[in-house]
A and B are shown apart, each in its own frame.
Chain A
Amino acid sequence: MGTSVQVTPLSGVYGENPLCYLVAIDGFNLLMDCGWNDLFDPSLLQPLSRVAKSIDAVLISHPDILHLGALPYARKHFGLSAPVYATEPVYRLGLLTMYDHYLSRRQISDFDMFTLDDIDAAFQNVIRLKYSQNYHLSENGEGIVIAPHVAGHLLGGTIWKITKDGEDVVYAVDFNHRKERHLNGTVLESFVRPAVLITDAYNALNNQVYKRQRDQEFIDAILRVLRADGTVLLPVDTAGRVLELILILEQYWAQQHLSFPIFFLTNVASSTVEYVKSFLEWMSDSIAKSFEHTRDNAFLLKYVTLIINKSDLENYAGVPKVVLTSMASLEVGFSHDIFVELATDAKNIVLFTERGQFGTLARMLQVDPPPKAVKVTMSKRVPLVGDELKAYEEEQEKIKKEEAVKKASIVKVEEVRATSSHLSESTKGDSMVIDPASATASPKGSSHFRGQMDILIDGFTPPSTSVAPTFPFFENTAEWDDFGEVINPDDYVIQEEDSNHMVVNGKSLDVKPDEASVHLLLDSTPSKVVSHELTVQVKCALLYMDFEGRSDGRSVKSIISHVAPLKLVLVHGSAEATEHLKMHCAKHVCPHVYAPQIEETIDVTSDLCAYKVQLSEKLMSNVLFRKMVENEISWMDSVAEKTNEKVLTLLPPPSALPTHKSVLVGDLKLADFKQYLSTKGVQVEFAGGALKCGEHITVRKISDSSQKGGTGPQQIVIEGPLCEDYYKIRGHLYSQFYLL
């Protein structure tokens, strides 16, 4: 009867692999997150590749690799073309995160899983939503409403509520109920009784220390090292939890007037903070409030220096300092190199603020006891010299020649293209998400265009539907002014060799302040990657503190039991944690708890029956509602009548129906009742879990195991000898309920 809902995990169950789940609602396929890991292991995406084409919409919940890393790759290789929905910060910070990963990878390897263009293309069709915006899907998804809600954890982090026909499917992973410096806590608890809740078991077995205590320990650990002339390395993500750390440090440095330098080093550091400054409306109330009153933007950083180039650190070689740098996994990026430099000195500390991803260097270092030495690969991109350069140039020459031949074959089309500035203009706009105004990108745009032409000419097959197949024709939409046709000088710039292509890409990318960092990488001079392995003696201190910003096990359990879904699906968490949470929830929350395996489709269609009726005015005029919290409630007896084909109308019954079993509605809290009784002048105290009222009367609540979140009514027992008090207390007890 209800809406059909199927959940199929594609990755990230019984383990810490990236998150990616397929949720089908009445045949409409929603992909919840599209994550990858820091190692970019394509084998993880196998299940996704099989279904990517059938996906109708992608919903992204957090701006990090684990939640959106595979978007560019899946779009390029699996044909994932569905629109992507995300909040503005998830879109923006996610994009920056992808850039940072790409640039870091590219610096040390011939990374070719995806290019910057692929990233841009993947993020181009992101539809950006606001928190609690009810977005009505169209076409196949008619009737489905999706709405992002605050998740905590990361800026813009989302729990998704998908509604169809009044039934809610809630996808909530990596939420945080605690309010932090820059984020509000999640609103998950305000959802009550969704049909399906999909959540993670990641933290089911973890419990956290108090926030204040943890912050103090964090600062103490850092200061100890700084005062001993050491350097603190904080491997962080590009644009996620690092924001919270920056605020903690800023705040403490301001309070204590410290002068130790703090650096935030990623390939996109300055862009990140620049954008974060404009995301105030997505942050915590206190940040918004301080801005409203004093117009001080919390991310107008006074103590943290943003750098995008590791060489900027060289001036501070011997100085005690704090360095926040990506990636958190220590696999690639600046953190990798800096770790190698710092590890050998016992003065220094590497302070992990999140658990490393499985199989990464960070994870290896987080084991207890930490390893004495680790093997790392140091890679570097160096310009080609001597023979290699020669060989490379010959290679390029060959490619060029081939291109020339190709070009000649399409010279006709070329002409069309040169004049149809309008068309190339539009292509240009498409290929650049961020900076359509940058004119430097136009050669790239047109080359992209030419690529399309190639395909059209080479393998031209008339579409089966066309009556008279013709070659593609492009209308000449040239503009004319007093001097003749308006031309775009860029169209006449001679295409440079392929390696230059990279530069262009780099510029189209809108990380202008950070361009210096990519300078070597995107340099036109041919380069290669040299790497050597070395063993690093880990002498520096290693410390892990939980700044992940996820709700801990205890809170997760209490939140789930408060939300009390009708059906619960558990994903993302070690096998142990998943089992643990599954057992817990099956016992205390609801009987339908599922923890599917990868590619195992489970049907969580609610077995709920429902039909709609019209309430006639006559009936409603006889109904007296009683108000209870947010609801109004009443007993109703009626007779159904089919007024026409579809509508069923309820009319008042013609004669009195047999009396129904009376219902007591209300939620009795013994503590509240105690207070109530004492205001009524009854001597009352708790004794052994029961409420002792007056001399002899006891009121107890019998909690059977199924009661919490279960469907049974509350069982309350009042007992005592026959006396006046008994009836008095009973009267008070009755007053706590509505009798219907």
Chain B
Amino acid sequence: MASVVTGAQNKRPNPNSTSAAATREGDQLIITPLGAGNEVGRSCVYMSYKGKTVLFDCGIHPAYSGVAALPYFDEIDPSTIDVLLITHFHLDHAASLPYFLEKTNFRGRVFMTHSTKAIYRLLLSDYVKVSKVSVEDMLYDENDIVRSMDKIEVIDFHQTLEVNGIRFWCYTAGHVLGAAMFMVDIAGVRVLYTGDYSREEDRHLRAAEVPQFTPDICIIESTYGVQLHQPRPVREKRFTDVIHSTISQGGRVLIPAFALGRAQELLLILDEYWENHPELHNIPIYYASPLAKRCMAVYQTYINAMNDRIRTQFANSNPFDFKHISPLKSIENFDDVGPSVVMASPSGLQSGLSRQLFDKWCADKKNACVIPGYVVEGTLAKTIINEPKEVTLMNGLVAPLNMQVHYISFSAHADCAQTCGFLKELMPPHIVLVHGEANEMGRLKQKLVSQFADSNTKLYTPKNCQSVTMHFSSEKMAKVIGKLAEKVPETGESVSGLLVKKGFTYQIMAPDDLRVFSQLSTANVTQRITVPYTGAFEVIKYRLKQIYESVESPPVEETEVPTLIVHERVTIRHESDTYVVMQWSADPISDMVSDSVVAMILNIGREGPKVTPIEEKTQEEMERMARKVVHSLMVSLFGDAKFGEDGRLVITVDADVARLDIKSGEVECENQGLRERIKTAFGRMQGAIRPIPKP
């Protein structure tokens, strides 16, 4: 495992040297929000480190339509992205996925949790159906969604996966069913992306987990800025009280809520409240979402992703099988005769059933509208929270806003206290805030800066397409294993072997161990070649001896046929009168030796049967000859050269005198230049007059 020294404060001392600058390129971790930077909606965060690229989430902006709702995909090259991780099924986190998968050159892998995938399919089909945009503005259609399903892979909570050396796993986020926080580990640098999370356990979801390991960077949502949620029982009481008092005065209650996620929680609350208040049993509750109805099977199946409370209830009866709540198909089927409670989507009152009901009921002060969660900037729901006198209806007319508007947040986003607590437990050195309006985010940043004032924590609030760059200088650690590791070397001793890199781990091993410790294997290629030759075998031997220092000929008894071994590499066997067989194990040097042998044998053949004296010269004779040759060559090079009394060759050039020991090749000379020249010359002579020495 590569260990990592994190933080910008640990910059290498000499950043100017070129090699350090080159490696720093790879040590740079870049985070760029392509959406959700200083805004809420179209979550999409790009991250790149050591040539690995991860994209978190792929949402759309609910306040815009068409291409304008997409994150800024043109800032990046989708084909370079290795992994795309989707935290949960909400449109602002997942809805541009079919577009990204089908309409761009993205080739990586996509992961989400099981329940997210199941709901994603239903939710997006519904989104395509209800979004009333012209055909050219459609980002994708039903077929794209179905095709995208085949590309999406699933990951279970805590399951660790590895793609291209990127390791990642996810934790429960507590926001909606299947919501996950992703931890990504690239070469030992950990990045936590929370997505939307909540640290409060509710009726059916678990609270977000605190990861076991501290991440180096935490990319965290800041939706609620410095706001604090009321305690859950208080909120629930307010909610039920508002509804109870409104309907007892004969009014109607509209709850604009997104079909999935919070809606299920609110339905659980309402069903329980009705159960405990028999006097309300004649008041109908409707939830006007065929989508939610379709998703119920998913909620019933993935109970293991929910909290213990719901799992316990599940053992007895299905808690999502509501007793007092009935589905409502459309406004045409709605018999608006008396008090009632209707939960309808969309949550922002932009269009659809919730808007139709709002238009119908807004003028009556007996009625109430309960906004149960976060509302996105630019929607009608956001407008009416400020209780304007008048509102514009869908048909363009202006109507007085008389109905009561209550904002009781059940949205499962962390509030300031939760965020601070969460970060305090984790203490990440770098915090990147995303998914929050600029103002809220700014306030949260101030708060966090003061909280982490005495630690070295860095805070970033990048805008869309604004990159945050961090440096992580990593020291690469390798593990020496196998035969190579039998002895731990001391300083100055050499370590040589194969360096094998897999993902971000390095191993050093002897070639023989490669097969043991990796999936790779080594090979020996034995080459065997027959060369036509009709002459005497002894001729080959003689010629070879002139070229190579070591030419062995083992006794015939051992080898059956006359054999020569050149430099212990190439074996030549005289197998028949018409050819010789050469055999060697392939490597560059042996190949070269064999090539020269082949050339030589062919030459002998071409020269024809020529009688060559086959007499073994003694070592002494050889030496004498060598002396002679060297002497004459030296004379031709330097002029004055003669043998001195001690047997050394004395070379005199102008005033400089050099003494050369022919046996050892040592040169004694005052003049540096001359000595080097003589040395070089002598080396070349040796190479020419003697056979090639054995390495």
Residues on A facing B (Cβ under 8 Å): 1, 88, 129-134, 136, 147, 166, 192-193, 271, 274, 277-281, 288, 291-293, 295, 297, 434-437, 510, 512, 566, 608-615, 617-618, 620-621, 623, 625, 628-642, 648, 650, 653, 657, 659-668, 710-722, 726, 730, 733-734, 737, 739-740
Contact = CB atoms under 8 A, between A and B. Distances in A.
B694 interface: no
B300 to A, nearest CB: 8
B480 interface: yes
A657 B496 contact: yes
- A-B interface, 7 closest residue pairs, ranked by CB to CB distance from nearest: A719-B528, A133-B158, A609-B485, A640-B489, A636-B499, A713-B522, A632-B501
B498 A715 contact: no
Interface string B68-105: 00000000000000000000000000000000000000
B519 A714 contact: no
Contacts of B480: 610-613
Contacts of B503: 630
5 contacts: A630-B503, A633-B500, A663-B514, A666-B523, A730-B586
B495 A639 contact: yes
B444 to A, nearest CB: 32
Contacts of A733: 525
A437 B304 CA distance: 18
A703 B19 CA distance: 46
Contact of A631 (B302, B519, B523): B519
B523 A295 contact: no
B476 A734 contact: no
Interface of B: 19-20, 22-23, 114, 117-118, 121-122, 146, 149, 154, 156-161, 169, 212, 294, 297-298, 300-304, 312-316, 475-483, 485-486, 488-503, 506, 508, 511-532, 579, 586-589, 598, 602, 695
A719 B565 CA distance: 18
A717 B523 CA distance: 10
B520 A631 contact: yes
A292 B151 CA distance: 13
A129 B157 CA distance: 9
Nearest to A716: B525
B476 A614 contact: yes
Contacts of B294: 295
Given A297-B297, A635-B499, A639-B493, A662 B587 contact: yes
State the main secondary structure of chain A at its contact with B.
Answer: mixed
Contacts of B511: 661, 663, 740
Most chain-B Cβ atoms within 10 A of its Cβ — which of A292, A437, A618? A292
A288 B302 CA distance: 12
Given A512-B316, A639-B494, A640-B494, A664 B525 contact: yes
Contact of B477 (A131, A281, A614, A734): A614
Nearest to B602: A722
A293 B125 CA distance: 11
B121 A293 contact: yes
B144 to A, nearest CB: 15
A631 B121 contact: no
A278 B297 CA distance: 10
B485 A610 contact: yes
B523 A614 contact: no
A27 to B, nearest CB: 23
Contacts of A737: 523, 525
Contacts of A660: 496
A667 B520 CA distance: 7
A132 B508 contact: no
Nearest to A128: B304
Nearest to A718: B527
Contact of A277 (B122, B301, B315, B524): B301
| Interface core residue of B156, B304, B314, B492 (most chain A CB under 10 Å) | B304
Contacts of B515: 710-713
A613 B516 contact: no
A636 B496 contact: yes
A634 B499 contact: yes
B159 A130 contact: yes
A436 B312 CA distance: 8
A720 B579 CA distance: 12
A129 B158 CA distance: 8
Nearest to A730: B527
Contacts of B525: 664, 716-718, 733-734, 737
Contact of B519 (A280, A288, A629): A629
Contacts of B586: 664, 730, 734
A131 B587 CA distance: 46
A297 B490 CA distance: 64
Nearest to A654: B492
A291 B301 contact: yes
Contacts of A434: 312, 315
A136 B213 CA distance: 11
Contact of A632 (B159, B303, B500, B531): B500
B158 A668 contact: no
Contact of A512 (B19, B315, B588): B315
A318 B480 CA distance: 73
Contacts of B526: 715-718
Given A277-B301, A512-B316, A634-B499, A193 B517 contact: yes
Contacts of B301: 277-278, 280, 291, 297
Given A608-B482, A637-B494, A722-B598, 10 more contacts: A133-B156, A133-B159, A274-B315, A512-B315, A610-B479, A611-B485, A615-B476, A650-B495, A663-B514, A734-B586
